[in-house]
Structure 1
């Protein structure tokens, strides 16, 4: 750490404290060249989770966008907001834990959503799948319903 007084990089840590509930560390330092005392702060800088779209474009993961998609799928079904919140939490955990690179393909994210909705409600699953898989006709719907039956 560079001394703000003399510019030397020779210092020692005199005191260390966790602050902000352990989110940051405050360190009191003393310059070994001039004796000046100063404070530095440290915190983890996380890379945001990025979603790689089908066209290769990357965009930051948007939890609210995920939630809106699921809410749209469960619209007019007897699914509570707490349940939707739990699903979004599980999806976010799965995606974050399985991707240390902090990047996930939108197709992988969509597959996790489909898996969660399939366990929750088949109607919600079909609604989401119709948009996600871009069903073009009735045959595509019927094939997906047949897959659920099997």
Structure 2
């Protein structure tokens, strides 16, 4: 593993342990050349994924980019990091288990929206406004009306609204 500080290829693992959800291995590393310390994470990757963008361009799937977009939607929201990590892991697992090496950005966006909808309504609206490219305020209203209708339907299924 290359040292992020000096670029040396000779780094040493000082400590390894599983993450809380056991989906990755967290490794504490040290560089003997500069003394720099850093952490890496090792995850299972079932297959190489390629993303087909709306423009027609293809790009390698980037888990970190997915995580960043979800973090932006969740900025300043009271959602535990463990729940966010479970959401990201779930989306990646779904994509990898589809059997296709190529996924569309629309498929990824739909999975993110589905996950955020169950995690945090505000983050869902934030992500949807970018993903669906909202241009007018009424588009926000339509999405919020959709959320409210879904909530009323869920309340009706669960035996009514408990207020």
Secondary structure of 2:51's aligned partner = strand
Normalised to the residue count of structure 2, the TM-score between the two structures is 0.62
Instruction: Tell me which residue corresponds to 1:148.
Output: 147
State yes or no: 1:103 paired with 2:112.
no
CA RMSD of superposed structures (Å): 1.2
Give 1:47 shift: 5.6
SS at match of 2:113: helix
Q: Kindly report structure 1 stretches of 4+ aligned residues shifted beyond 2 Å.
A: none
Matched, 1:56 2:56: yes
Q: TM-score, normalised by structure 1?
A: 0.67
CA distance in structure 1 between the partners assigned to 2:70 and 2:139 by the alignment: 21
Number of residue-to-residue matches in the alignment: 104
CA contact (8 A) 2:47 2:96 kept: no
Larger Rg belongs to: 1
Which whole-Å CA distance do the structure 2 matches of 1:65 and 1:51 have between them? 12
- 1:131 is matched with which residue? 130
Unaligned runs of 5+ in 1: 1-45
**Structure 2: which 5+ residue stretches go unaligned?**
1-45, 150-163
Q: What CA deviation, in whole Å up to 9, does each residue of 1:24-80 have, x standing for no partner?
A: xxxxxxxxxxxxxxxxxxxxxx76200100011110000000000000111111112
Instruction: Write the distance in 2 (CA, Å) between the matches of 1:120 and 1:47.
Output: 27
SS of equivalent residue, structure 1 residue 56: coil
**Corresponding position of 1:43:** none
